[in-house]
Chains A and B, each alone.
Chain A
Amino acid sequence: MEDKLLVIRCKRGSTEALGRIYEKYKTDMLVLAMALLNDKSAAEDVMHDVFLSFVLNIEKFSLTGSLKGYLLTCLANRARNLNRAKRQQSSESEPEEPVSYSSDGPRRAIMCNEQLQQLSNAMAQLPYDQREVIMLHFQAGMTFRAIGKSLGISANTAKSRYRYGLDKLRSIFDNEAKK
């Protein structure tokens, strides 16, 4: 309800409403971006792009679901493109290996707490496809059907990626506990 009001006000040019949307969802967006990319600079850039794109298209934008879901799906799409670009870059220069980012970029504009760092590090050990499904399910609250639709895969494929991802996370967390 509040989101619909905020979008209406944004369309009317309310800078306050835009600021409120940013404040309301920036943490969710950054947590998702960090979990997907494990790179503070990249996370900030992706959030920046998504937010600007939201403003640029605000006139045509019509809120049919949740604003949080919309912003997080846009963010996941951008992160996927970035990941694909990085994968192409690395495959051109090196043999195939899991893409990982440095946890700190050149700019350190954002500070993650311990739990987010732990989440981000654990996710970085999963193939990108699996971490994407897990985060969209848990953080954006999307159903597997919706995730499948958004990624252009079947709901069953989304579920499989989720299951494989959780299996792998189990061993990652077990190993951490043993240390």
Chain B
Amino acid sequence: MKPADKIKELINKSDVATSPDADQRILAEALKHLDKLKRNKLAPNQPNIWRIIMKSPITKLATAAVVMIACVIGLSLWRTTGSGIALADVLARVEQVKAFRYQFFRTTGEDPNKPYSSETRFTVLVSQEYGWKGKIEQLDPNSGWSTFGEIYTFADKKTKIIIWPKQKKYQRMELDDVFAELVWQNNPQDPRTNLKKILACKHESLGRSTIDGIEVEGFRTTDPNWLGNMKDKVEVDVKMWVDVKTRLPVRYDFTYAYFDQMGNKKERQHFVMHDFQWDVPVDAAEFKPVIPDDYTGMVVKYPAHITEETAIQGLKVWVELLGKYPDPQIITNMSIEDEGDLAPTVLRLAEKSETPAAMRLKEEIKGLTDDEINNKLVDFLMPIRGPGRFLDILEADKKDPEYYGKTVTPKDTDKVLMRWKVSDNEYRVIYGDLHAETVTPEKLAELEAALPK
């Protein structure tokens, strides 16, 4: 056996048991700190020791002198480095803004040697008081831009409404606190999210330049962590320019390239956020979606409406489309991916499949505009989110879920595709052929031992 295989085997089989005392010691100390943090958050502001000291006239004078000296030193350093903007200050400034507008372009392409194949534009209005509103348009080479959908997220972040005017359909999503926060924090179309991500990644200054007559300072990151935990090789190039005077973003430019395991470029995406208008006046009426009476709609309570049945239904649609179950990563990404991102992802996967459903889909969309394709996919996209959302909910409820879509196929009538804990003595199992049953933990252990490695 090769040493690399031997090491992998040893790591896989390595196990370590900790004594309850050790766990208790570590956890108790950690929980104590967590509790302290919680209490600090809740505690009213206490008079600060520095505030007490500053009551003395002597310390006031001394502090003023120190501040002046620090300013002189700071100014000389600032002049020599040529960079005066700290990104943390930009974030603080952005978070002070009550309302702003911007545009967001996304272009995606499969073949790096061909022009981008899909272009989408979001026109967004954000208000701390009223919420988030985005109009999604798609570019058709023949007819120009046309509206694909509208998204509204209310200020409490817990209600999201998506309207598809051409389909005369809408969906109202009602999220619980935790999922609302999660979706909000991961919104890739929000400049605040992206600014926080740049701060969290290793970044550099691009120095000063001018955009549309505005003096700006640029920042850049090429840190692959930007895209989260990607297993495939990726290249990331993210740039952001900040107005030197206002300390507010002027433009973002993101380029991502994804590579397959052989190192070939398999997809690229390009995003631009621009045309920012900060501190704009807004009207509450702008954030109230107008849904005509003849539109049909559905309400999805998340997590309440996501069940075993919706998971099975979604898995069935996946199998019909791909002929196999999707990888766990695809399942989980789909669960929170934005509406505008879903259709290109599904089409990309379907492109490589030759199942009757995929062939039919490819035939049906032949010659259609992007806009028409998206309209066609609206009904299709809803169920495929089901399995990922179901897994999220099980995870959140600590139901010990697992999904084995990477190795289990639709023909595996006796192999565990998905499982979760129902009680201390019972697990629910969905098998490869999508029938489900409740089993004992012992039976589950047998089933999982028989899974392909």
Contact = CB atoms under 8 A, between A and B. Distances in A.
B22 interface: yes
Contacts of B214: none
A110 B18 contact: yes
B226 A58 contact: no
A133 B19 CA distance: 29
Contacts of A5: 178, 182, 392, 395-396
Main DSSP-derived SS at the A contact region: helix
A22 B196 CA distance: 26
Contact of B396 (A2, A58, A112): A2
Interface of B: 1-4, 6-11, 13-19, 21-23, 25-27, 29-31, 33-35, 37-38, 41, 178, 181-182, 185-186, 196-197, 199-202, 224-226, 228-229, 233, 332, 335-336, 388, 391-392, 395-396, 398
A109 B16 contact: no
Contacts of B199: 62
Interface in A126-151: 134, 138-139, 143, 145-146, 149
Sort A-B residue pairs by CB-CB distance and give the 9 closest, nearest first. Answer: A13-B38, A109-B22, A116-B14, A2-B395, A66-B229, A169-B3, A119-B10, A115-B13, A111-B17
B426 to A, nearest CB: 21
B178 A9 contact: yes
Contacts of B388: 1
A22 B34 contact: no
Contacts, number: 150
Contacts of A99: none
Interface residues of A, number: 56
Contact of A48 (B13, B17, B26): B26
Interface of A: 1-2, 4-5, 8-10, 13, 15-16, 18-20, 22, 26-27, 30-31, 34-35, 44, 47-48, 51-52, 55-56, 58-59, 62, 64-66, 69, 109-113, 115-116, 118-119, 122, 134, 138-139, 143, 145-146, 149, 166-167, 169-170, 173
A6 B34 CA distance: 14
Given A1-B336, A110-B22, A170 B27 contact: no
B34 A55 contact: yes
17 contacts: A5-B395, A10-B34, A16-B398, A22-B27, A26-B23, A48-B29, A55-B33, A62-B196, A66-B229, A113-B16, A113-B17, A115-B13, A115-B15, A119-B7, A138-B7, A149-B202, A170-B3
